[in-house]
Amino acid sequence: MLDTSMIWVPDLSMYNSRQEMELNREVGPVMIRSSGKAYTLFALEMTGHCRPNWANWPYDIHKCTISLGSKRYLGSTVNFKFYFEKGLYMDFILPDKEWELIATNSSRNETRFGPDNDTDAEFMVTLDYDFTLRRHASVYVASYLIPGVVMMILSLGLLWIPSDKVERTAILCTLIIMQSLFLQYLAYKIPTNGDTTPYLVCFYRDCLCLTGLLIVETLVTRSMASWASNPPYLQLIFQFIAGNRVLQFLLISDIDPKNAAKLMEAGNDEGSSLVTTDQTQQWRLLIDIVNRSMFFLLVPVYLLLSVSLLPLNVSFSIH
């Protein structure tokens, strides 16, 4: 066994490190065999470069690369090669509590200086190691993804509660506060050095806007319940709905049967008007129709948000 100060050690550097790193300084004692080959082992921590892509967080997958080579000598002087066939020895890898190693790749590359057909041209050798990492997402799914889906379903269910109920307004205000807090915490939790906006952030952002729309709709319809006027367009709306079987089934099937009967009568009698002694009942009937319409309008919108913005779990196999 010889100390590295007694023999020549080729420089081995990491090209894509944030800090200057010469790995040959970390080399331990060197063993020289009778064949003239020298062997050494060294253990060190290297920080490679990853191309971040947080779009599918918390199911995000990152590819990290470590490039090794010589900064002083060309390939004709120092020709690095893999000792193992695949370039990596994975038997002693330790699992990480946050990341899972799902794929590895190693390659030896030569960069020639001069024409490609010139066999005598100088070349530089680099050893590139690629590591594909996937985040362990079970905790984040339970903490961020599932609550977002529950709040989405709750927002739809509130449309079946009358607008004049205090519970509806209180729950909507609670939802908008919770969604704002989730957005703030996601902005703190997810790194911002990626060039894409995470789908989960966009999902909470759009759900926050829709919840705000529901609050406005609730306040407007609550004020409509006390209106006593009888504008002409009100009768036209009732007659149009009563004349369409699909709209009758979707919008008035669960409404008070007395009001529904009056609505049907108005639609079946051409040129007639909806006669009632209490004008506010017409507005309450319209409020119920607006709430049903909002429900059937928001169902496909929320489904579209879920399909396009909720992150998906992409499976990989290690090789």
Q: pLDDT tens digits for 294-307?
A: 898 999 999 998 88
DSSP 8-state assignment for residue 132: E
* The predicted structure's pLDDT at residue 303: 92
* The predicted structure's pLDDT at residue 280: 59
Based on the fold, state whether residues 256 and 209 are members of the same structural domain.
Answer: yes
Per-chain mean pLDDT for the chain: 76
Single out the residue in 109, 135, 161 at which a domain terminates.
Answer: 135
Query: Residue 56 belongs to a domain with what CATH number?
Result: 2.70.170.10
Average pLDDT over residues 7-32: 69
Based on the fold, state whether residues 166 and 123 are members of the same structural domain.
Answer: no
Q: What percent of the chain has pLDDT over 90?
A: 14
Domain presence at residue 314? no
Based on the fold, state whether residues 243 and 119 are members of the same structural domain.
Answer: no
Domain presence at residue 298? yes
Number of folded domains in the chain?
2
pLDDT category of residue 53 using cuts at 50, 70 and 90 = confident
* The predicted structure's pLDDT at residue 151: 92
Based on the fold, state whether residues 129 and 201 are members of the same structural domain.
Answer: no
Q: Which of 78-87, 135-144, 156-165, 208-217 has the highest mean pLDDT?
A: 208-217
* The predicted structure's pLDDT at residue 272: 40
Based on the fold, state whether residues 285 and 190 are members of the same structural domain.
Answer: yes
**What are 244's two structure tokens?**
């369409």
Domain presence at residue 43? no
Based on the fold, state whether residues 162 and 246 are members of the same structural domain.
Answer: yes
Based on the fold, state whether residues 161 and 81 are members of the same structural domain.
Answer: no
* The predicted structure's pLDDT at residue 237: 64
pLDDT category of residue 178 using cuts at 50, 70 and 90 = very high
- pLDDT above 80 (res 189): yes
Range of the domain at 185: 139-309
Based on the fold, state whether residues 32 and 98 are members of the same structural domain.
Answer: yes
Based on the fold, state whether residues 104 and 218 are members of the same structural domain.
Answer: no
Return the minimum-mean-pLDDT range out of 27-31, 47-51, 239-243: 239-243
Based on the fold, state whether residues 119 and 239 are members of the same structural domain.
Answer: no
